[in-house]
């Protein structure tokens, strides 16, 4: 990241340490515009289907907790992995329809933001590449793998959200062809907060709920 950009984000990063501050990019790409990235030799890509769960868990016991296993078993969300010698080196999740708040946040519970997608759009979330494998376009290869699994399905577009100071992720997904279609924002200190919702996302068939930190709090009687 260049120095000027780093300086622009300094106040924002500082606020994130002491309060709630979230600028969230909504990014989208049409599947036929997604840059194809090949997977390096020795790596394989696959979906963690309910039938593959036992063997993947056996080789990667830390990968999935009970909640995540439930999401796969109930087909609430799909999990894709990149493996090297049976070890998961990268993963990403995909959801459709009503995206619950827990699927979209930056670790701070106040930043959880639910939304609804049209039927031809899928949401990519919780993408992760193991540190020794970073910088090798594995994220792109994973998106290419997911895209090829979508072919012939009703899905024509992928969307994702990325926190604005995650420059590595933004560089990576823009290289793949994703473009920012809107930004939501939440700033809060104590009980006070201000939120912005890019309502024009409805032109993309995306309808946002409210940030968890922007919900009226129940006051105990």
Ligand X SMILES: CC(C)(COP(=O)(O)OP(=O)(O)OC[C@H]1O[C@@H](n2cnc3c(N)ncnc32)[C@H](O)[C@@H]1OP(=O)(O)O)[C@@H](O)C(=O)NCCC(=O)NCCS
Nearest residue to ligand X, by Cβ distance, number only: 135
Pair of tokens at residue 25: 């990019």
Binding residues among 95-114 for ligand X as defined by CB under 6 A: none
Pair of tokens at residue 10: 């300094």
Of 163 and 218, nearer to ligand X (C-beta) is 163
The residue within the footprint of ligand X, chosen from 26, 91, 139, 187 (CB under 6 A), is 139
The residue within the footprint of ligand X, chosen from 82, 91, 140, 159 (CB under 6 A), is 140
Pair of tokens at residue 45: 């890509």
Q: Does 162 help bind ligand X (rule: CB under 6 A)?
A: yes
8 A C-beta contact, residue 146 and residue 94: yes
Q: Does 25 help bind ligand X (rule: CB under 6 A)?
A: no
3-state secondary structure of 14: helix
Nearest to 165 by CA among 125, 94, 106, 109: 106
Of 169 and 193, nearer to ligand X (C-beta) is 169
Of 33 and 168, nearer to ligand X (C-beta) is 168
Minimum CB separation of residue 32 from ligand X in Å reads 21
Of 144 and 162, nearer to ligand X (C-beta) is 162
Q: Does 29 help bind ligand X (rule: CB under 6 A)?
A: no
In angstroms, the CA 161 to CA 103 distance is 10
Of 101 and 193, nearer to ligand X (C-beta) is 101
Pattern 164-183, ligand X, x by CB under 6 A: --x-xx-xx-----------
Pair of tokens at residue 98: 């009503």
Nearest to 81 by CA among 73, 72, 91, 89: 91
**DSSP assigned state of 13:** H
Of 140 and 209, nearer to ligand X (C-beta) is 140
Backbone angles phi, psi at 162, to 5 degrees: -140, 135
Query: How much is the CA Rg of the chain, to the nearest whole Å?
Result: 18
Q: Which stretches of the chain bind ligand X, using CB under 6 A?
A: 127-129, 134-140, 162, 166, 168-169, 171-172
């Amino acid at each position: 990241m260049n120095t000027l950009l780093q300086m622009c984000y300094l106040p924002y990063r500082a606020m994130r340490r002491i309060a709630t501050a979230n600028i969230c990019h909504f990014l989208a790409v049409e599947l036929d515009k997604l840059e194809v990235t090949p997977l390096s030799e020795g790596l394989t890509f696959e979906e963690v289907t309910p039938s593959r769960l036992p063997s993947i868990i056996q080789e990667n016991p830390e990968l999935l907790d009970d909640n995540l296993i439930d999401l796969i078993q109930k087909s609430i969300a799909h999990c894709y992995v990149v493996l090297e010698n049976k070890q998961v080196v990268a993963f990403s999740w995909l959801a459709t329809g009503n995206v619950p708040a827990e699927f979209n946040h930056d670790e701070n519970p106040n930043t959880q933001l639910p939304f609804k997608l049209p039927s031809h759009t899928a949401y990519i979330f919780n993408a992760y590449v193991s540190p020794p494998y970073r910088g090798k376009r594995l994220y792109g290869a994973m998106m290419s793998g997911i895209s090829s699994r979508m072919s012939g399905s009703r899905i024509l577009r992928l969307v994702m959200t990325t926190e604005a100071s995650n420059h590595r992720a933004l560089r990576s997904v823009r290289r793949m062809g994703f473009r920012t279609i809107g930004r939501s924002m939440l700033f809060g200190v104590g009980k006070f907060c201000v939120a912005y919702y890019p309502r024009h996302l409805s032109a993309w068939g995306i309808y946002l709920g409210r940030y968890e930190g922007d919900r009226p709090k129940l006051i105990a009687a």
